[in-house]
């Protein structure tokens, strides 16, 4: 059975970490098969602002952008149609793993001009299938972690998903309320009343 941490917390009032919850679930006989934590794979991405953008001298669809992402002005070559000065974007500096592309960004030359990172789309970060351009954020502090930004503005997009194995003798654990009841009985929080 799969459930999100926020779904569990809609039934259980707890300050316990996801690690404590999963350890307790396994101790209760509800074996945790997997934990998918989208925030973990987004932790290296930061928010930046495009301060300057101009057409690449040797390519019609590429732009040479200057991006401020908290570690000084950085030159990034971008082929997205919405790359322009003044937008707030999500930046991957060299050494960052891009989950949607299964690559690690490095410094490279694109048609003779060096690029020191990448501005990402939602599909490249595996947060949706959107790939019409790079992510444009309405607000954001330069240098802020993108995972922290999502936690503050769109927490559902990075809500951890827990998958547990259910044995035939535990039909009470086929619902999130039953799981919350077990955790409350173990002292990991208190049950919330049904609404």
List, for residues 18-72, the tens digit of each pLDDT value.
999 999 999 988 999 999 988 888 999 999 999 999 999 988 899 999 999 998 9
Helix axes 176-185, 18-27, angle to 10 degrees: 90
Q: What is the mean pLDDT of the chain?
A: 92
Looking at residue 195, its pLDDT comes to: 59
Rounded percentage of the chain residues whose pLDDT exceeds 90: 74
* Lowest mean pLDDT, pick from 37-41, 87-91, 98-102: 37-41
Residue 171 neighbours by CB distance under 10 Å: 10
What pTM was estimated for this model as a whole?
Answer: 0.76
Q: Give the span between the Cα atoms of 39 and 24, in whole angstroms.
A: 22
């Amino acid at each position: 059975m799969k459930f999100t941490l926020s779904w569990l917390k809609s039934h259980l009032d707890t300050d316990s970490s996801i690690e404590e919850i999963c350890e307790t679930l396994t101790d209760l006989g509800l074996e945790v098969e997997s934990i998918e934590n989208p925030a973990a794979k987004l932790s290296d991405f930061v928010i930046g602002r495009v301060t300057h953008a101009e057409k690449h001298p040797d390519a019609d669809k590429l732009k040479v952008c200057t991006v401020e992402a908290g570690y000084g002005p950085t030159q990034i070559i971008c082929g997205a149609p919405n790359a322009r000065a003044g937008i707030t974007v999500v930046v991957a500096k060299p050494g960052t793993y891009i989950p949607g592309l299964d690559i690690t960004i490095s410094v490279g030359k694109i048609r003779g001009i060096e690029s020191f990172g990448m501005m990402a789309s939602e599909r490249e970060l595996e947060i949706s299938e959107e790939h019409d351009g790079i992510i444009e954020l309405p607000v954001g502090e330069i240098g802020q972690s993108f995972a922290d930004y999502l936690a503050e503005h769109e927490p559902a997009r990075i809500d951890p998903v827990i998958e547990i194995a259910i044995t035939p003798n535990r039909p009470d654990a086929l619902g999130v309320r039953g799981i919350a009841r077990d955790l409350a009985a173990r002292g990991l929080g208190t049950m919330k009343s049904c609404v």
